[in-house]
Amino acid sequence: MKIAVCDDEKNIRAYLSALVRKQEIECEVTEYASPEDYFSSGAEYDILFLDIELDCPEPGMDGIGVARQIRGMENIKQPVIIFVTGYEKYVYDAFDVGAFQYLLKPVNERKFAEVFQRAVRQAESEAEQGKKALVVQYGSTGKTIPLNDIYYMESQNHKIAVHFKGGVLEYYAKIGDLERELEGQFCRIHKGYLINLSYVDEYSKKYFVEQQQVHAIQERMEEVEQFYDGICRMKHEMRNHLTNIKGLFESGNFGEMEQYIARLDEGMDVFELSVRTGNAVTDVIVNDKQKAAGKQGTDFQSEFTYPKSERYNAYDIGIIVNNLLQNALEACGKMQAGGGYIFISSRQKKKFFLINVRNSFDGEIVMDEDTNLPISTKGNKAGQDSLHGIGLSNVKREAEKYMGDVDIKVKKNEFSVTVMLQERRQA
């Protein structure tokens, strides 16, 4: 494993290199003090630790600029980039250049180890993917083309035209057979075209609707079954309700009729969705938590929108959102003065999706030294009166499915959790 560290501060380079060598992974570490040194070396790396605030006289050649230039070099091995920065304001910019993760200075050793291990797995996965190739037989000759070199393929008069970095090559094959063989990295957007998703920045959902609808419905069915069953029951019972109301009216029992209608109205409120997230699963979860917040006097605000990508599993996102909001509800419910607030939001930046939940709380938070997750409020035994620890381990597990991470911040009496996810390859 070849690792590069590019930072204009010598002590930071030395510290990061030392942390890499402590990870018990056989690797070669090279340090660079500037972008010029890095590019002039001509070397290729599996993982690159890159400072964002590089002091470089050339305009636009800070860490973001360096990463953008690397991503624009198609003929080199693309490293897994981990940004190192002292400022959170650069985090969103990092997503634009396909950064794998970011580390805030001063770098925490436990956090570094977690990120590094995931980066190694990502680099190994990409290396394995890079070995896959398409064997093309045409005439009496054959050619092996790495899948990563292929842009797209099209079917023409019983032949397949392969458009790749070396040009265009035609041979006899069936596009249906290729679709099955290359499923995951290539997607059939038309009866005559297969495209390499590695070269797609954005795509319209309409291309994948037929393929994804059944899969999405199967995932969401379990989550929303109870909700829609309730609607069906209400519809089925409506005739009986109308008969009862008519009977109360004819008998002159107007007081009882009013109470009956009020109870019926309350029952209908259960199925009212005041928050729309763009997804059936998260619609149910967010609205349910909003109602629970209202009952305990907690202010609830939502700016959450489900990601516009088919690469996320609605069940996984539901687990994350449900656990984050449930923990926030419990925290606000324990506030001595009552009330409190919960705010959930989301942001999508190309292949990255961030979920943030902020809430008020009372007391101090005790963190587990091993997991770096909250386990209790000060003065209470862990496990008896947990503030945010319960459920966050589940959130972290779900985030790791998407090569993501969980970032926790406590400022005065506000608890903030940010979950970062990356689109994963289609299986």
pLDDT at 226: 56
* Domain ranges (residues) in the chain: 2-131, 133-200, 206-271, 273-427
Q: What are phi and psi of 284, to 5 degrees?
A: -65, -45
Q: Mind listing the pLDDT tens digit for each residue in 359-394? A: 999 877 777 766 677 765 444 444 434 444 557 888
Please tell me which residue, 61 or 210, carries the higher pLDDT value: 61
Alpha carbon distance 204, 318 (integer Å):
23
Alpha carbon distance 203, 187 (integer Å):
11
Report the predicted TM-score, pTM, of the whole model to 2 decimal places. Answer: 0.49
Q: What are phi and psi of 154, to 5 degrees?
A: -135, 150
**Token pair in block for residue 329:** 């509800």
Alpha carbon distance 7, 19 (integer Å):
15
Q: Mind listing the pLDDT tens digit for each residue in 19-29? A: 999 998 899 99
Q: How confident is the model at residue 92 (pLDDT cuts 50, 70, 90)?
A: low
pLDDT over 90 (residue 353)? yes
pLDDT over 70 (residue 300)? yes
Fold of 2-131: Rossmann fold (3.40.50)
C-alpha closest to that of 186 among 159, 215, 153: 153
C-alpha closest to that of 25 among 55, 1, 6: 1
Same fold yes or no, 2-131 and 133-200: no
Q: How confident is the model at residue 347 (pLDDT cuts 50, 70, 90)?
A: very high
Contact 314, 279 (CB under 8 A): yes
CA 107 to chain centre: 23
Fold of 273-427: Heat Shock Protein 90 (3.30.565)
Strand, coil or helix: 159: strand
Of 108-112, 159-163, 375-379, the poorest mean pLDDT is in: 375-379
Contact 288, 325 (CB under 8 A): no
pLDDT at 190: 74
422, β-bridge pairs = 352
C-alpha closest to that of 28 among 2, 52, 57, 48: 2
Alpha carbon distance 45, 1 (integer Å):
8
Contact 342, 328 (CB under 8 A): yes
Q: Mind listing the pLDDT tens digit for each residue in 177-231? A: 898 888 778 888 778 889 988 777 555 434 443 343 334 334 444 445 555 566 5
Contact 361, 413 (CB under 8 A): yes
Contact 179, 194 (CB under 8 A): yes
Q: What is the mean pLDDT of residues 261-270?
A: 67
Please tell me which residue, 277 or 394, carries the higher pLDDT value: 277
pLDDT over 60 (residue 48)? yes
- Residue 34 is given by DSSP the state S
Alpha carbon distance 146, 202 (integer Å):
23
Q: Considering only the top CATH level, what class is 133-200?
A: mainly beta
User: Which stretches does DSSP call E strand in 173-276?
Assistant: 186-190, 193-196
Contact 130, 37 (CB under 8 A): no
Please tell me which residue, 51 or 385, carries the higher pLDDT value: 51
pLDDT at 346: 95
Amino acid at 306: Y
pLDDT at 243: 82
